[in-house]
Amino acid sequence: MEQDSLKGREMSEQRRVQRQPCRLDARIFIPQLSAPVRCTITDISTLGAFVQPHTRRSVPASFDLSIGGSSSPRACRIARREAHGFGVEFLDPVRHEVEDLLIEHAFKEEMVFDALYPSLSGELTATKMRLRHTTDAIMELIERRSAVSWQHTSAA
């Protein structure tokens, strides 16, 4: 139990945005299933959440998540799995496309190596950390350029 508490503290220290404890009903939508998988979100931030499914059904690495009564599901990917649930990252479609392009053109060989020799500790590899930081930098650039463009448009 003490190790779980330590693991939770380590994860919260690695987060870019601190998650808030909550208890929200949600539904996981998996393309091959007609009925959604019911679940509970136990903590959430603008970037992700911790999800506890109400069933032992296998959940794929990527899926759509509808929170509360929302009819607009959010694309998610599982960032880590634990015995009682999993942490998800909310995907920004543009961010996902940027990450895919980086993997294809800049990180492909390293990602193949990571797949052949995965981290035994379950932590992010150096390659995945570099990919995340590079994607963050590109997304920040896009946001800054959009803000400048918006300022010029509204000033005209």
Q: What percent of the chain has pLDDT over 70?
A: 82
Q: What's the pLDDT score for residue 78?
A: 95
Question: What would the two tokens of residue 5 be?
Answer: 């508490």
> What would the mean pLDDT of 111-132 be, rounded to a whole number?
82
Q: What's the pLDDT score for residue 142?
A: 79
Per-residue pLDDT band for 27 (boundaries 50, 70, 90) equals very high
Q: What's the pLDDT score for residue 6?
A: 43
Q: CA–CA separation, 17 vs 92, rounded Å?
A: 15
In the block, which residue shows the tokens 């499914």? Answer: 53
| 119 pLDDT higher than 50 | yes
C-alpha distance from residue 132 to each of 25, 33, 54, 100 (Å):
29, 31, 31, 11
Question: pTM of the predicted model, to two decimals?
Answer: 0.56
Instruction: Choose the most confident range, by mean pLDDT, from 54-63, 100-109, 128-137, 139-148.
Output: 54-63
**Closest to 89 in 3D by CA, of 22, 37, 153, 14:** 14
Q: CA–CA separation, 15 vs 89, rounded Å?
A: 11
